[in-house]
């Protein structure tokens, strides 16, 4: 495992339903910034829009852009997009490496309050990616409210959440991110969008990275939130407080 992993997330004000504009804006924002992993919010190319048929990628538009961007920046890039695949609409979280290889996680818990379950199909698999020796669990927004699904079975080192989580429920977002870090003794990086979307929902700057003890380790500057994972610190903390050894055994699927 590489000892340090630098991550930079963009607190992005997404332009409503305009993929090309969002791709351009992201490239401009990241022009002078580098990291091992560049993070983008949930549905960063369109905003969290429930008419999937209108916005969904049908020719891997977002994935193709992410591959190009990752190669040009020599960094991994992650974020979710609305896609149409094999007859279903999905909220798909891509993790793209600089060499063009990628994995994806389809959002498991759909936000019924907004009707996401009426437009999108739920994912069926829990996905952990390996990058530079780090094992990273991929999660999207509403997944945060379901701790069983993200329970650490000693199979990951960090969790990353990408979201469109509005101001009206922002306390829950912050509290649950911290709880996931503590209960799973893992780094937890939650990246939320900012600004106002096409539904007139407001999103304050609320992106954070927590260490395994619940302390905030991220720094925010110019709409970027950055953090650095350190494997030695994580190993030392887990070795001192071996709470995961006492976890309950169960199977999700």
Tens digits of per-residue pLDDT, 189-210? 999 999 999 999 999 999 999 9
Burial status of residue 245 (CB atoms within 10 A of its CB: 0-12, 13-18, 19 or more): exposed
Residue 230 reports pLDDT greater than 90? yes
Mean pLDDT over all residues of the chain?
97
Is 252 part of any domain?
A: no
Residue 32 reports pLDDT greater than 80? yes
Query: Across the chain, which distance is largest between two alpha carbons, in Å?
Result: 51
Give the pLDDT of residue 250. Answer: 78
Tracing tokens 């999937």 back to the chain, one arrives at 52
Q: What's the rounded Cα separation, in Å, for the pair 28 and 120?
A: 31
Q: What is the span of the domain harbouring residue 144?
A: 4-245
pLDDT bucket at 162, cuts 50 / 70 / 90: very high
Is 44 part of any domain?
A: yes
Is 59 part of any domain?
A: yes
The CATH number of the domain holding residue 200 is 3.60.110.10
Tracing tokens 């993929």 back to the chain, one arrives at 19
Is the distance from CB of 217 to CB of 35 less than 8 angstroms?
no
Residue 213 reports pLDDT greater than 90? yes
Residue 105 reports pLDDT greater than 90? yes
Give the pLDDT of residue 166. Answer: 98
Is 78 part of any domain?
A: yes
Give the pLDDT of residue 90. Answer: 98
% of the chain beyond a pLDDT of 90: 96
Give the pLDDT of residue 223. Answer: 87
As a whole number, mean pLDDT of residues 25-34 equals 96
Tracing tokens 């509290």 back to the chain, one arrives at 175
**How many CB atoms lie under 10 A from the CB of residue 201?**
17
As a whole number, mean pLDDT of residues 94-108 equals 98
Residue 244: CA count within 13 A, CB half-sphere: 21
Residue 125 reports pLDDT greater than 90? yes
DSSP state of 152: -
Name the domain count of the chain: 1
Contacts of 249 (CB under 8 A, 6+ apart): none
Is 228 part of any domain?
A: yes
Give the pLDDT of residue 253. Answer: 67
Is 250 part of any domain?
A: no
Q: What's the rounded Cα separation, in Å, for the pair 91 and 123?
A: 8
pLDDT bucket at 23, cuts 50 / 70 / 90: very high
By annotation, the residues acting in catalysis are 42, 107, 141
As a whole number, mean pLDDT of residues 165-177 equals 98
């Amino acid at each position: 495992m590489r000892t340090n992993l630098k991550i930079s997330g963009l607190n992005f004000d997404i332009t409503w339903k305009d993929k090309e504009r969002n791709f351009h804006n992201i490239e401009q924002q990241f022009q002078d910034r580098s990291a091992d992993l560049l993070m983008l919010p949930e549905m960063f190319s369109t905003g969290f829009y429930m008419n999937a048929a209108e916005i969904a990628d049908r020719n891997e538009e977002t994935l193709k852009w992410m591959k190009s961007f990752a190669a040009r920046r020599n960094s991994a890039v992650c974020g979710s997009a609305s896609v149409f695949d094999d007859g279903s609409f999905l909220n798909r979280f891509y993790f793209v490496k600089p060499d063009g290889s990628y994995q994806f996680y389809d959002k498991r818990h759909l936000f019924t309050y907004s009707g996401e379950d009426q437009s999108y199909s739920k994912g069926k698999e829990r996905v952990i990616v390996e990058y530079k020796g780090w094992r990273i669990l991929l999660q999207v927004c509403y997944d945060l409210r379901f701790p069983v699904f993200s329970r650490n079975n000693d199979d990951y080192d960090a969790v990353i959440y990408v979201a469109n989580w509005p101001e009206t429920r922002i306390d829950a977002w912050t509290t649950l991110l911290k709880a996931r870090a503590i209960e799973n003794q893992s780094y937890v990086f939650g990246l939320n969008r900012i600004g106002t979307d096409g539904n007139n929902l407001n999103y304050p700057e609320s992106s954070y990275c927590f260490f395994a003890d619940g302390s905030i380790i991220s720094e925010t500057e110019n709409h970027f939130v950055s953090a650095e994972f350190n494997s030695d610190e994580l190993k030392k903390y887990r070795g001192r407080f071996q709470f995961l050894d006492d976890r309950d055994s169960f199977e999700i699927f």
